[in-house]
Amino acid sequence: MEIRNIAIIAHVDHGKTTLTDCILRHTGAVTAKEDRERIMDSNALEQEKGITILAKNTSVKYKGTRINIVDTPGHADFGGEVERVLSMTDCTLLLVDAFDGPMPQTRFVLGKSLQLGHKPIVVVNKVDREGARPGFSVDKVFDLFSDLGATEEQLDFPIVYASAKQGWAVNNLSEVPGANIEPILDMVLAHVPPVKRDSDKALQFQVTALDYNEYVGRIAIGKIYQGTMKKGADVTLAKTNGTTANYKITKLYGYEGLTRYEIDEAGSGDIVAMAGIPDVFIGDTVCDMGNPLPLPAIQVEEPTVSMFFMVNNSPFAGKEGKFVTTRNLRERLDRELETNVALRLEETEDKDRFKILGRGELHLSILIENMRREGYELQVSRPEVIIKHNEAGEKIEPYETLVMDLPDQYTGAVIQELNRRKGELTGMDAHTSGITRVEYIIPTRGIIGFRGHFISETRGEGVMSSRFLRFDKYKGEIPGRKNGALISMDSGESTAYALWKVQERGDLFIEPQVSVYPGMILGMNSRDSDLEVNPVREKKLTNVRASGSDEAIRLVPPKKLTLEQSIEFLDDDELLEVTPQSLRLRKKVLDASMRKRSSGGR
């Protein structure tokens, strides 16, 4: 049976996972029990957030051909997932929204695909969307191919128009939409080269993903580049650091739809999973016994943002978490490093404090959310960009391309804020629908904390996305949060009466009957300075009867911050306490007098 290996790539929310669902349904690769919306998003966080976080592979059969499909993340923060799995494939389906056209992440993933020599098939998705501009999108895609240095052969890309949500595709917009997406699958068979079956050569299997099973141990997932892999065979593991070791393959798995099933043998071109090597890592090569032929290591772009992960030392430490010690935290981070290739860990002088480097705020916040769901308790600091020095000794910092689609009436306020954050306007394009696209090049420092302001300023109607561009000259100081914090001066349980008095000072993050401690942040001050307040004060009771009814206590509903919003809110002198049950903002120095001394009396 012939094999085609493809990856589906696109900007976030352009329909990759929905298209994969259509392919699985059309080819009968999923059962009625397995069928649901966004079938491939198996992770609980992926289903909640509606985005793909981890790259996943599946396999379908169509017209006598096996098509191995890799569904990739669309968010820039998970670019490490894309970089390591594209090498397994021979071609890509590039999805582009018919309304949005190419977005920042489109450039990133397409550039990686072109570098590997792929000849992408362009799928213009959501052509049924109101205001869709398929012609505009195709022109912009061609311009993007040219900007990325595509060859003449790559520039002659085939195009399919589709509505993955409705489950149809056509080769030409003049055609009447059919009832299926066969035009896309037919295009794959016609334009994707079949895998060369070099099964008689020496084995080369490169690991691109890891899984774990409590019965068989670590499972390595990857592509067999050449040779044959057999269950029970003795093999040599060639590690990326140059060392080798011998092992036996205890289990071998193939893929069919959503199912991973045991097989006895697989040949070149197959994407498989294998067990039996306890210390295998991403990028390692499995070879024939005594014949190590390592493949080039998988190259992943460097991290741009760092955060400190610390053992929780607040007054409420250990009350809600299951794993609270330094050893627990270290073991969990080491385990994450094994599979998350874009993550780095740096030791600090404090044994209870770890510096974690990643690709962005979302990349790190997903790790934090997973840890709290597993029962971990920790504290994290404000995200900081990674500053480097060039050959001339000058400070350089990461810059990003920022693209926003927002209603015309909000553009002035957003542009003013981005200019304050040292951004540089590179383009504006007004749509006929009253939406303006604004493009900026801005230091990553300027984007940290901007998303919440953007959502508030555009009344939730704006859409923004960014992508790492390059390291460039340091821009100097960038103003941080405009507002100060409302800080608790006492411990106990918050009361409605006390919060009623406090809410006049700003926006509250907590409601009554919440346990608080001194130094804990209760809300955002309406002014630019911090303010200490008493949230536990109770109303004094007297035996004097009031002539009229007491003034009614009316509380404004508190602003409940998500994990991402809490991280965005943080200032340099603040921490976020994360437990399985709670998110608490706090000052690094809890004691008010010591805090004033350390801040110079601010």
**Which amino acids are annotated as binding site, given as ranges?**
13-18, 125-128
Q: What's the token pair of residue 473? A: 């000259």
Cα torsion through 272, 278, 281, 285, rounded to 10: -60
Q: What's the token pair of residue 503? A: 């809410």
Give the long-range contacts of residues 332-341, CB within 8 A, separation 24 or more: 332/371, 332/374, 332/376, 333/309, 336/367, 338/210, 338/281, 338/282, 339/209, 339/210, 339/282, 340/80, 340/367, 341/80, 341/83, 341/84, 341/282, 341/283, 341/298, 341/300
3-state secondary structure of 76: helix
Q: How far apart are CA 7 and CA 9, in angstroms?
A: 6
Give the long-range contacts of residues 509-517, CB within 8 A, separation 24 or more: 509/558, 509/559, 509/560, 509/561, 509/585, 510/535, 510/558, 511/555, 511/557, 511/558, 512/555, 515/316, 516/488, 516/490, 516/491, 516/492, 517/314, 517/315, 517/316, 517/488, 517/491, 517/586, 517/590
Of residues 559, 547, 555, the one with CA closest to residue 522 = 559
Q: Cβ distance 404 to 462 under 8 Å?
A: yes
Neighbouring residues of 325: CB distance < 8 A, sequence distance ≥ 6: 311
Q: How far apart are CA 398 and CA 388, in angstroms?
A: 9
Cα torsion through 431, 437, 438, 444, rounded to 10: 180
Task: Tokens 């404004």: give the residue.
Answer: 556
Could you give the angle at the alpha carbon of 32 between the alpha carbons of 29 and 38, nearest 5°?
70
DSSP for 129-167 reads STT--HHHHHHHHHHHHHHTT--HHHHS--EEEEETTTT
Distances (CA, A) of 252 to 69, 195, 276, 365, 397: 19, 20, 9, 34, 45
16-26 vs 182-191: helix crossing angle, rounded to 10:
90
Q: How far apart are CA 293 and CA 111, in angstroms?
A: 28
Which residues lie across from 485 on neighbouring strands?
524
**Which amino acids are annotated as binding site for GTP, given as ranges?**
13-18, 125-128
